[in-house]
Amino acid sequence: MAGQIQVETIIQITDPTGKKLAPLRYSYVKALTAITIMDFAVTADQTRIIWDPVTGATENVADFDTAIFVSDGVLDLEGTVDVGDEVGNEAQTVRLVDGLPYMLGADDAFANVTGIDALGTGTLDLIEKWRVDEPAGAARNLKMILAT
């Protein structure tokens, strides 16, 4: 059997009046040839690199088609596009919250952005490094799954 990663998502919404809306169901299946699964204990106020295949010797994947991050509290996640600065290094950040996975289905992102218009002026490149920062003064745990 070939390797695969499968994500099943059910979103159940109860509106402010208490009425339950019909569940939203989504399924994602991706064949994989390599996978990196890492758990990190992120200490209070720590910033650390969690994936950099150029300098890291422990990563199984050098790029990814699927990325999943799950934290047990607030963490800021930074993806760096175009680490080699061939067209213009860019950092992009998102805030992770307890129990809500952050998922990407590709490592594509824009670099060399002029102003704030990435879609109109940027150059499509790859996310080539991930860092995480704990901003709230409390230790957190993070699971990272990268698959290609």
Cβ-based burial of 100 (10 A; exposed 0-12, middle 13-18, buried ≥19) = exposed
The pLDDT value given to residue 84: 73
- 4 touches 31 (CB < 8 A): yes
The pLDDT value given to residue 118: 66
The pLDDT value given to residue 147: 93
The pLDDT value given to residue 15: 96
- 74 touches 97 (CB < 8 A): yes
Return the exposure string of 56-65: e unless at least 16 CB atoms fall within 10 Å of the residue's CB, then b: eeebebeebb
- 36 touches 50 (CB < 8 A): no
Please state the domain extents for the chain. 34-147
CATH class label, 34-147: mainly beta
The pLDDT value given to residue 58: 57
The pLDDT value given to residue 123: 85
The pLDDT value given to residue 128: 92
The pLDDT value given to residue 53: 86
The pLDDT value given to residue 79: 95
The pLDDT value given to residue 59: 59
Per-residue pLDDT of the chain (148 residues; tens, 9 = 90+): 579 999 999 999 999 999 999 999 999 999 999 999 999 999 999 999 999 988 765 557 888 999 999 999 999 999 999 877 777 778 899 999 999 999 999 999 988 877 776 677 788 899 999 999 999 899 999 999 999 9
106: Cβ contacts below 8 Å, ≥ 6 apart: 65
